[in-house]
Amino acid sequence: MDNQPVIKAAIQSAVSKGIRDIRRDPNRSIRKLVDLGMQFGKGRNQKSFFTDAQSVLKNSNSVYYALVTSLIRNVDPQTLETFGINIGYMSWTMGAKMIRAYEKERGVNVPWAILLRCNMPAAKPLDLSRLVAEGQALGIFAYFLFVGSQTERLADMLATVAQCHTCAFFLMAEDAATNARLAELDMALPNAMFLPRGGAPEYPDTADTLCRKKRIFSLNCEYSAANADWLLSEPFLKSVVERDYPFLILTPADTCDPETRARVGAEVIALRAAGRYPLYPIDLYADVQRVDHIISDESCMLMLGADGLPIYPAGIGQSYGAELSLEALIRLSMPSVRRHR
């Protein structure tokens, strides 16, 4: 008997109560919510995450209490519940279980999330609805959508996001016009995090709008050797906190050198461990692969272009076209190293 709906319903009820309790007694209720995560999180990645969280929260002055309290204050409760469950349960718990079973049976690596670089021309744009349906069948419930002025059929993509209630979407704007377009949306998207593109940050009006609409949002910045030091500097990090961004997602530019990527990755980990700011920095490519390694032993990452063809890993011939199914694409491009030794 499939008891997943019962488990999900129990988690939803407990999370909903936890969010209400945090408004009354933040520190105690946050600890109780983490303890609840330990109870339901049976996988290795969940246990590791909640054990680390319990350790951090032993310090009653931890900045992460302020981070969570800010989220509770600024974000619609239904959005917090939906997005949190779609990541914590649908993706990292149920989805992770499905991924491990599929990998074991087929001898391939399956990514826990798919990155979609949609801000580029495409002769035939990918069918997001089809891709997500195929991804869910494999256990993939998280999608990072890079969108901008060159994104075709953005309205259709957002309609798909709204329909995929059990998935978590990260809407990564890549220019100022798209920052404003996403901020001004009136449609309900409780399963989406909005990530305006910044750098100073230089779009305070966008943050104000998202905060007023009770969205869950964060800042995304592209880094390279030219600006990495600034993006990791105390003045910049403080300015991000002042604008109520709870997360800072850093993405390497296509031209970013390996040494800068390695340095940024190491400094992001150090910043999280130090806990000096009520802000959680993320080095996107490195952290996506880090989570994947926890779920699947062998780390992998899948990034598709606007036409649905792989940007990373490379090597799938253009002759396959966008009609190639996700399952076939994974089979061709992501064989298990361990299985094929």
Pairing of strands 216-217, 302-305: unpaired
Residue whose C-alpha is closest to residue 304's, from 175, 125, 174, 170:
125
Q: Higher-confidence residue: 173 or 125? A: 173
Residue 123's pLDDT band, with cuts at 50, 70 and 90, is confident
pLDDT higher than threshold 70 for residue 145: yes
Number of H helices, E strands in the chain: 15, 10
CATH architecture type of domain 76-333: Alpha-Beta Barrel (3.20)
Q: Which pLDDT belongs to residue 74?
A: 87
User: What single string gives the DSSP state of each residue in 67-113?
Assistant: HHHHHHHHS-HHHHHHHHHIIIIIIIIIIHHHHHHHHHHHSB---SE
Residues 41-62 as b/e (b if ≥16 CB within 10 A, e otherwise) read bebebbeebbeebeebbeeeeb
Q: Which pLDDT belongs to residue 340?
A: 44
pTM equals 0.88
pLDDT higher than threshold 70 for residue 147: yes
Q: Which pLDDT belongs to residue 171?
A: 98
Residue whose C-alpha is closest to residue 288's, from 25, 151, 111:
111
Q: In this structure, are residues 194 and 210 in contact, taking their beta carbons and an 8 Å threshold?
A: yes
Q: How many CA atoms lie within 13 A of 278 on its CB side?
A: 16
Residue 341's pLDDT band, with cuts at 50, 70 and 90, is very low
Q: Which pLDDT belongs to residue 20?
A: 65
pLDDT higher than threshold 80 for residue 26: no
- Domain residue spans in the chain? 76-333
Q: Which of 106-115, 230-239, 325-334 has the lowest mean pLDDT?
A: 325-334
Tens of pLDDT, residue by residue over 148-206, are 999 999 999 999 999 999 999 999 999 999 999 999 999 999 999 999 999 765 655 78
pLDDT higher than threshold 80 for residue 270: yes
Residue whose C-alpha is closest to residue 288's, from 304, 298, 299:
299
